Amino acid sequence: MSEGLAPVVEEDVLRLAGLRKSYNLGLSTEVEVLHGIDLTLGRHDFAALIGPSGSGKSTLLNLLGLLDSPSAGEIYLLGQPTRKMDDAGRTRLRASAIGFVFQFHHLLSAFTAIENVIMPLMVARGRPTAEMIERARMLLAAVGLEAFQDRKPSQLSGGQQQRVAIARALVTRPALLLADEPTGNLDTKTATGVFELFRRFNREFGCAVLVVTHDARLSAACDRTIELVDGQIVSDQRGSG
């Protein structure tokens, strides 16, 4: 999988500086959910984000994915400040630099598995090329679904749909992969294979990985564990992975 996009060369893929997020700004019900977060993810980081329910993990993930804007502070993605970007600029940067794996797969029901995987490349580049199709096939093979590439989501199990979504998230070779409970619907063997696929992209393409998880085994297998409590990072530890 060495053809196509070049590996990321920037050492820092993501940097947060004094990041804050409040809701209901200026109202009596205003509440601050994130309280001045500083964080850096390098291109070789393979990190878990953990914390209790209500700690701000989902809010932080939406900000990192450029799906929402911070109230204060800055998010630098590949060295670019993003807070004051217009919607078009954020959309372009998000599409080219970030891969998402959510708890819910959000596949397009009218398209086959391989068409769903290719979709991000088609949005960016137009009609599918032979290289795009081959890349999508290799990713489906990597998640054990090569034989199912022509099936539509309704013909796949929930776990299979999740694996298609994982292949789709990786097809652009993103600089940053954000994964929200990515193996929650998968059996142990498949979850292990998916985790190793994330590892491969982290190692070969300089794809920084941040996994939000409640699974202690998954977080323990990551190289770095970031703990968020009440909107603040209380621990950021590196281990052996």
User: Model confidence at 240, in pLDDT bands (50, 70, 90)?
Assistant: low
With CA atoms as reference, report the closest residue to 200 among 133, 143, 129.
Answer: 143
Is 1 within the bounds of a domain? no
Q: Which two tokens stand for residue 78?
A: 């590949």
Q: How confident is the model over 168-212, as pLDDT tens digits?
A: 999 999 999 999 988 777 888 888 888 888 998 899 888 999 999
Least confident piece of the model among 121-125, 154-158, 206-210: 121-125
Is 23 within the bounds of a domain? no
Is 234 within the bounds of a domain? yes
Is 8 within the bounds of a domain? no
3-state helix, strand, coil in the chain (%, to 5): 35, 25, 35
CB 16 within 8 A of CB 40: yes
User: Model confidence at 1, in pLDDT bands (50, 70, 90)?
Assistant: very low
CB 200 within 8 A of CB 194: no
- 86/149 Cα distance (integer angstroms): 36
With CA atoms as reference, report the closest residue to 61 among 80, 39, 45.
Answer: 39
The domain of 62 spans: 43-68+89-238
Q: How confident is the model over 18-58, as pLDDT tens digits?
A: 999 999 888 888 899 999 999 999 999 999 999 999 999 99
Q: What 3-state DSSP class applies to 11?
A: coil
Task: Kindly state the helix (H) or strand (E) to which residue 130 belongs, with its residue range.
Answer: helix 130-142
With CA atoms as reference, report the closest residue to 211 among 231, 191, 230.
Answer: 191
Is 225 within the bounds of a domain? yes
Is 17 within the bounds of a domain? no
Show Cβ contacts of residue 100 under 8 Å, excluding neighbours closer than 6 positions.
65, 169, 177, 178, 179, 180
Question: Which CATH number does the domain housing residue 110 bear?
Answer: 3.40.50.300
Is 110 within the bounds of a domain? yes
Sheet holding 224-229, edge to edge: 98-101, 176-180, 208-212, 46-50, 224-229, 232-238
Task: Check the CA dihedral 142-170-241-228 and report its sign.
Answer: negative
Our count of domains for the chain comes to 1
Number of separate helices (H) and strands (E) present in the chain: 7, 10
Is 201 within the bounds of a domain? yes
Mean of per-residue pLDDT scores for the chain: 88
Q: How confident is the model over 50-93, as pLDDT tens digits?
A: 999 999 999 999 999 999 999 999 999 999 999 999 999 998 89
Give the angle 91-97-101 at the CA atoms, nearest 5°. 90
CB 225 within 8 A of CB 47: yes
pTM: 0.87
User: Model confidence at 159, in pLDDT bands (50, 70, 90)?
Assistant: confident
